[in-house]
Amino acid sequence: MLRFFFDSLKILINRRYLIMTMARREVASNYVGSLLGFIWTFIHPIVLITVFWVVFSLGFRVKPMKDVPFVVWLTAGMAPWFVFSEMVSGTVGAVVGNGNLIKRSVFPSQVLPVVKIFSSLANHLAFMLVLFVLIVFQRMPLSLYYLQAFYYLGCIMALSLGLGWMFSALNVFIRDVGQMVAVILQIGFWATPIFWKIGNLPVVLQKYIKLNPLYYIVQGYRDSFIYFVPFWQRTFLTVYFWAITIVLLFLGAMVFKRLQPQFSDAL
C-alpha cells in the first residue's frame, strides 16, 4: 500500500502538466456560452457573503468579534470551507464522469480527483480577493502572515485528496455515495464554527468541536488574515490534523488501489 501511495504521488508529479491542462479546461467549460464568463466566479462569493452577512449581522444582530468587523471574520471562515466543500463534492464524481478515459488502460485514473481539486482553486481565488478587498475597505492592518494561508490551503488539498480518492472509487460501485457526501457536508457546514464563535460553547463541547479537522483550517485562515498567529503555536491541533490527514490519504489510496482494476467493468 505504501508503494501504491508513493507511486501515485510520482504519477501526479510526472503528469502535473496534464493535470493543470485538464483543470484549466474544466474551469473554462463552466462558463461556455455564458455572457459574463469568468465574472461569475466573483459574483457567487459576493452574493453568498452578502446574504450571510445580512442575515447574521442585521437579522441576528451579531456583534463584531473583538473589534474585528463581522463581515471580515465571516468571510475568512467561509473561504476555506467552501473550497473544501467544492473539492470534496467535485472529486466524488471524478471517476464516474470520465468513463471514456478510464477505459483507456494507459490512463492513470488517480489523477482525476486531483484535477477536480485544482479546478476548484479558481473560485477560491475569487473568495480570497473579496476577503482582501474587505480587509482593505475596513482599514485593517496588512501582514506577511497572509502568506501562511498557502500552508492552510495545502492542508485543505491534502485532506481533500485522501477523501477524494476514497469517495470517487466507492462512487463507481455505490452511486449513493454522492448523496451521502452532500448530506455530510451540509452537517459539517453548521457543525464548523464559521458563523458562530467556539468560545460561546461549554468547554466540554469545545473539545469535541476541535476534533473536526475543518476547525483547524478555518481557525488557521483567521489566524492568517485577522489574528496573525503562526501555525506552529497550535502544536496539538497541527499534529492532530496531520495525523488524521495522513491516515485518510493512505486509506483513500488503499480503497482506490483495491477498486481501480474493476473501474472499466463497472463503467
- pLDDT tens across 62-98, in order? 665 667 888 899 899 999 999 999 999 999 998 888 8
Cα–Cα distances in Å, from 135 out to 55, 74, 131, 266? 20, 12, 6, 49
Q: How confident is the model at residue 37 (pLDDT cuts 50, 70, 90)?
A: low
Cell of 92: 466524488
User: What pLDDT score does 4 carry?
Assistant: 66
Reported as a single tens digit per residue, the pLDDT across 15-25 is 888 888 888 88
Which residue(s) pair with 68 in the sheet? 65
> Residue 29 above 70 pLDDT?
yes
- pLDDT for 182 equals 93
Q: What is the pLDDT of residues 229-259, one digit of tens each?
A: 999 999 999 999 999 999 999 999 889 988 9
pTM of this prediction?
A: 0.90
Checking if the pLDDT of 35 tops 60, the result is no
The three-state DSSP-derived secondary structure of the chain is CHHHHHHHHHHHHHCHHHHHHHHHHHHHHCCCCCCCHHHHHHHHHHHHHHHHHHHHHHHCCCCCECCECHHHHHHHHHHHHHHHHHHHHHHHCCCHHHHHHHCCCCCCHHHHHHHHHHHCHHHHHHHHHHHHHHHHHCCCCCCHHHHHHHHHHHHHHHHHHHHHHHHHHHHHHCCCHHHHHHHHHHHHHHHCCCCCCHHHCCHHHHHHHCCCHHHHHHHHHHHHHHHCCCHHHCHHHHHHHHHHHHHHHHHHHHHHHHHHHHHHHHC
In the chain, what are the domain boundaries? 2-266
Provide the percentage of residues in the chain whose pLDDT is more than 70: 90
pLDDT at 262 exceeding the cut of 70: yes
